[in-house]
Amino acid sequence: MPEKQPSPHLPSDLPTGIELLHNPILNQGTAFTEAERQLLGLCGLLPPRVNTQEIQAQRVVTNFRKKPNDLEKYIYLIDLEDRNENLFYRVVMDNIEEMMPIIYTPTVGQACVEYSHIFRRPRGLYISANDRGNIDRCLQNWPYEDVRMIVVTDGERILGLGDLGAAGMGIPVGKLSLYTACAGIHPATTLPITLDVGTNNEELLNDPQYIGLQQKRVTGDAYDELIEEFVTEVHKCFPRAVIQFEDFANHNAFRLLKEYRDRICTFNDDIQGTASVTLAGLYASLRLTGGKLKDHRFLFLGAGEAGIGIADLIVSAMKEEGVSAKKGREKCWFVDSRGLVVNSRRDLAEHKLPYAHEHEQMATLLEAVQALKPTAIIGVSGQPQTFTQEVVEEMAHLNERPIVFALSNPTSKAECTAEQAYTWTKGQAIFASGSPFDPVTYDGRTYVPGQGNNSYIFPGVGLGVITVASRRVTDSMFMAAAKALSQQVTEEDLELGRIYPPLTKIRAVSANIAAAVAEVAYSEGLTDEPRPYNMLAHVKDLMYHPDYISFV
């Protein structure tokens, strides 16, 4: 066990006794030493034998694997996080491939659906529409002052599951767990927040166990005024915090990003993080297909915040290859719930208009594939099994190495499975998904599908922004993150069909992304911090490790 180290995050009024055991940041359970037990009033409150963190972790993993299903595993781990955060992160970091699908996608989706029924204790802050005029008091109740990373949702569009209201809190909690596990942002500096403005989900409104406001959603000026007060008060209370908007519906996500991105340090992961991880996968795919981005044509299924965000970043990347924005957009096409997005349609939301091209209307994705002959199809629709066998086989007919990205989360919403993509293309597909799929063996060869999950991007971006106290989060940072991620895909990864690094390397990946993002902050004049001699080494020095601290 590593020697216990002093912590910069110890509060000045250190709790003792049972209060200390109920503090998840400081609690070490049976690992408190004899000297610590004497000093901190713990004698008699713990079993007499002192355990190492390693022994504690073994106990946790053994019990975790005995749980009958993934939801029970999720509940077990969240309970551990509420008791002992260092042990929670030790277990997650040492078993990242096994644990990440539990604490985040796909299991977190089921957990949000069941959130009101599995609710144990509050985690994070719930700020409701009834708190208008008093949001500052809510924020001041948070026990930690040095908040650096906030993830906030209003629960209206949770993954591909829709309006879950206050039950969407599982998403900010899960995202911030990944900020810590994947990028080493100290958990005491993170804050999950749910803005409960009601829900239009009738099932929740009629559920007596639902934990949120039992009213229809607040909209219009009242909604905007609540958001404005929230942003203003957060900036006052936690002036060094980054605000990540998460799982807001399209009609709010785009306009809130536009409203606040040049006023505060903020970003929307559904728009920008998804774009960055997808672009990274495309850069890696080019090493298999040859050519440049400008040589490809992209067809999206789904024209919401994820799809438009991806297309916008692809266009920016094409501009670096000498293509105009207009020509770049002409390489990106969309199919939404009403068919191909074309300029003759009169039902298009504003965010779709830049990608509404001159073409005859087509009702189905298959028709669009046959007519447009894309080299890549990208699924961000939240509609399962919409990359049908006919669609995928047509992609294989048109392309020697068709790019098939089924990115919708959770797994139940994926446009196709990895097995379907490889089987229908006779092993030629370059496949990625938003949630994990097991390796697939086809015709004697085993393929390891890449997971185009935002967890490769947002933790490193957040770490980079925090490291240099950047005043803003810019699109250039997400471009740099995409390049940094793609550069960490090895030839061995590509040989396996994997266009993202294995999750076991996620902390190294995040450190490299953070260093790249920090350099952008310096180049764009967004920080006043002195530039370190070695940025990557500086980032790594700041990363949290879940070792127990010494109290004596």
350: helix, coil or strand?
helix
66 Cβ partners below 8 Å, 6+ apart? Answer: none
Rounded CA separation 402/107 (Å)? 29
**8 Å CB contact between 304 and 156:** no
**Structure token pair of residue 131:** 């708190």
Helix (H) or strand (E) run with residue 378 in it: strand 376-379
**8 Å CB contact between 434 and 259:** no
**8 Å CB contact between 358 and 343:** yes
**Chain centre to alpha carbon of residue 77:** 18
**Structure token pair of residue 80:** 């551990």
Which DSSP string corresponds to 255-284? HHHHHHTTTSSEEEIIIIIHHHHHHHHHHH
Among candidate residues 74, 89, 126, 175, the one labeled active-site is 175
5: helix, coil or strand?
strand
**8 Å CB contact between 244 and 457:** no
Bridge-based pairing of strands 298-301 and 445-447 is unpaired
Q: What region, left, alpha or beta, does residue 548 occupy, with left being phi > 0 and alpha being psi -120 to 50 degrees?
A: beta
Q: How many CA atoms lie within 13 A of 311 on its CB side?
A: 33
Instruction: Report CA-CA distances (Å) from 304 to 165, 220, 311, 313, 348.
Output: 19, 20, 11, 14, 11
514: helix, coil or strand?
helix
Rounded CA separation 239/117 (Å)? 35
Helix (H) or strand (E) run with residue 236 in it: helix 220-237
Q: What region, left, alpha or beta, does residue 375 occupy, with left being phi > 0 and alpha being psi -120 to 50 degrees?
A: alpha
Query: Has 175 been annotated as catalytic?
Result: yes
**Structure token pair of residue 8:** 């910069």
Query: Has 544 been annotated as catalytic?
Result: no
Bridge-based pairing of strands 266-268 and 332-336 is unpaired
Among candidate residues 104, 283, 355, 422, the one labeled active-site is 104
Of the candidates 88, 98, 94, 83, the residue with the CA atom closest to the CA atom of residue 22: 83
DSSP state, residue 342: B
Residues with active-site annotation: 104, 175
